[in-house]
Amino acid sequence: LRGDRRVLVAVAYRTSYKKVNDAGGVPPKYRDYADRVAHRLQEYTPRGGT
């Protein structure tokens, strides 16, 4: 699957893992949501972690 695993898991939680797997990543319908999740991850992930 293409993309950040954390974002894929969030989208799968919102939709289903089957939809994410069938699309080979984030389905087009949920790209806006995935973009928001990725932005929040970038904003709130501590820097310099493992």
How do residues 10-19 score in pLDDT, each as one tens digit? 999 999 999 9
What are the residues whose beta carbons fall under 8 Å from the beta carbon of 4, sequence distance 6 or more? Answer: 38, 41
Residue range(s) defining the domain that contains residue 30: 5-44
- Predicted TM-score (pTM) of this structure: 0.84
What pLDDT score does 36 carry?
98
pLDDT digits (tens, 9 = 90+) for 6-39: 999 999 999 999 999 999 999 999 999 999 999 9
CA distance 25 to 10: 12
Residue 50 lies in a domain: no
How many folded domains does the chain comprise? 1
* Start-end of H helices in the chain: 5-14, 17-23, 31-44
Residue 26 lies in a domain: yes
Number of Cβ within 10 Å of residue 23's Cβ equals 16
